[in-house]
Each structure stands twice: as C-alpha cells, then as structure tokens.
Amino acid sequence: MKRTIIRHAGLATAALSLTLGLAACSSGGDDSEASMNSEPSTSQESSEPSDDMMGAFGPGCEAIPTSGAGSLDGMAEDPVATAAGNNPLLSTLVTAVQEAGLVDTLNSAESLTVFAPTNDAFAAIPEDQLNALLADKDQLTTVLTHHVVEGELGPDEIAGEHETLAGDTLMVEGSDEDFTVADASVICGNVPTANAKVYVVDAVLMP
C-alpha cells in the first residue's frame, strides 16, 4: 500500500535554566552561592544533547564518529547531502551523488527519507560495473533516486511500500529496530539530518 507522507521537521531546543532568576531574587549571599554550586551541572547536561538522544539505532551506528560534523549530532545540523559527506561510511555514495549532479536537489528538498548504501555496499559491485554506472549520468540518477522517498519517515512509519523519487517503489519490511529494504538490511536507522531521515543500508538498491 502507498503511504501519504506528512511532512514534518524540527529539532528540539534546550530550555533556559531558572537558576539565575532564582538567584537574583535571593538577597542572601549564602543562598546565591549555593545556587551557583548546585545548579550549573544539571543545566549543562540538559543543554548538550548526546548521540544517544538522537534516536538512531542499529549496530552500524557504532562506526559513526562520536563528535564533529560526521557525528549524529553534527549530521543533524546539515542538509542530507552535506551531512552524508561528513560521514566516513558514505563517501562513495557522496561521490556518486556529486557525479549525478544531485547535491543541490537533495540539500534543497523540504523533507526526505534516504536509504544510504555504505562504502562496502558499493565495493561489492564489480569494479567495471561500478565505473560504468558512475560514468552514465542518466542511469546513475535513476539508481540514486531509487534510494529516496518523500517525507521524513520514523521507525514507526518506515515499514511498507513507498514511492521513490525515481517513480518506482521500494518495499520496507520489519519492525522495531530490525528492517530490510529489498535485499538490503538497515544497519543504522533513523539518522537525523536537517531535512531528511537517513537509513544506512548494506547493499546498493537496484531499480
């Protein structure tokens, strides 16, 4: 069945601490000192989201850097093609996206879900076939857009049949944190970027 995609976006922002306001209302020096000594650690923890809070799942997530632009937190700040370019698992995919001229298309889209093959997935394709694919812009565009659907789909929405940007369909099966897409397995799912959800897969999906 086909899903109606409801577009949504947005990242949660940390709330400001009330500590300083409470301290300002206090006339006693001891109360002010106690407030400064007891509250900052709680405030600091709540204002610095960790990768564990981003909602990504799967054994492949362990290969994603824990800090910097290629981390889950860092990828959440950039549009999807830029975010993928910072992830060491996806450098071959990014090269292919550049060869197809799709960087601006993906980065400017409002809301997408991308099934992103790893470098190892591309390496599994015989070298002559991969080189021929990279050299054929039309075919490469078809293959890459076959990995993309409209809307940011979370784990509770991803199972089912979805129309791709190539105009065909993909079937996702599974539940919870165990999903397959055609013959590929999701090894790191629900990775956030500024305009897309990314599901890293262990095989290139052919139309």
Reading the chain (207 residues) residue by residue, the pLDDT tens digits are 333 333 333 333 333 333 333 333 444 444 444 333 444 433 333 334 344 446 999 999 999 999 999 999 999 999 999 999 999 999 999 999 999 999 999 999 999 999 999 999 999 999 999 999 999 999 999 999 999 999 999 999 999 999 999 999 999 999 999 999 999 999 999 999 999 999 999 999 999
- CA dist 143 to 77, 111, 172, 192, 205, Å? 26, 20, 17, 22, 7
What domains can you pick out in the chain, each with its CATH number? 14-48 (no CATH), 51-201 (2.30.180.10)
Token representation of residue 7: 């577009």
Residue 54: the pLDDT is 63
Quick check: 169 and 146 in contact, CB under 8 A?
no
The answer for residues whose C-beta is within 8 angstroms of residue 176's C-beta and 6 or more apart is 155
Alpha-carbon distance 65 to 121, whole Å? 19
Alpha-carbon distance 168 to 203, whole Å? 18
Residue in the structure block whose two tokens are 């409470």: 22
3-state SS of 152-189? Answer: CCCCCCCCEEEEECCCCEEEEEEECCEEEECCEEEEEE
Choose among 184, 160, 178: nearest CA to 170.
Answer: 160
Sheet holding 112-117, edge to edge: 148-150, 112-117, 196-201, 184-192, 178-181, 169-175, 160-163
**What distance, in Å, lies between the first and last C-alpha atoms of the chain?**
18
Residue 82: the pLDDT is 97
In DSSP terms, which residues pair with 160 in a beta bridge?
A: 172
| Number of C-beta neighbours around residue 123 at 10 A | 13
| DSSP H helices in the chain | 19-25, 29-38, 40-46, 72-75, 80-85, 91-100, 103-108, 119-123, 127-135, 137-145
| Number of C-beta neighbours around residue 176 at 10 A | 9
Residue 157: the pLDDT is 96
